[in-house]
Amino acid sequence: DIVMTQGALPNPVPSGESASITCQSSKSLLHSNGKTYLNWYLQRPGQSPQLLIYWMSTRASGVSDRFSGSGSGTDFTLKISSVEAEDVGVYYCQQFLEYPLTFGSGTKLEIK
């Protein structure tokens, strides 16, 4: 199975500051079609997950441009510029190169 490892944030993050969440995969997620098969999701407190970023760097419909995804085949970063109260929650990376689909353990964001 592909193991996804996420880093922690130095919580709480001051409102208006930027935050970067890291994710590392045990195998390259670069598909033969040139796309990198990594998603980012946000799970706000008490809510179900929502898609933020797919193919490593493409924002989902309706997602603020404060969110951006980048990386290589195995190392990825979700950057949130100017964090706001509504950004609070747990962020998950997920690979979909192969089954079983696997998620990182999650990174919690708290705002000060």
Chain residues that interact with other proteins, rule: CB under 8 A: 31, 33, 35, 37, 39, 41, 43, 48-51, 54-55, 60, 90, 92, 94, 96, 99-106
For residue 43, what are its two tokens?
């799970």
Q: To the nearest whole angstrom, how small is the minimum distance from the Cβ of residue 104 to other proteins?
A: 7
Instruction: Name the residue nearer to other proteins (CB basis): 55 or 66.
Output: 55
Instruction: Name the residue nearer to other proteins (CB basis): 54 or 67.
Output: 54
Q: To the nearest whole angstrom, how small is the minimum distance from the Cβ of residue 1 to other proteins?
A: 8
Distance, CA of 30 to CA of 18 (rounded, Å): 27
Do residues 97 and 3 touch, judged by C-beta distance below 8 A? no
99 by Cβ neighbours in 10 Å (0-12 / 13-18 / 19+) ranks as exposed
Q: To the nearest whole angstrom, how small is the minimum distance from the Cβ of residue 103 to other proteins?
A: 5
Do residues 73 and 36 touch, judged by C-beta distance below 8 A? yes
Instruction: Name the residue nearer to other proteins (CB basis): 74 or 81.
Output: 74
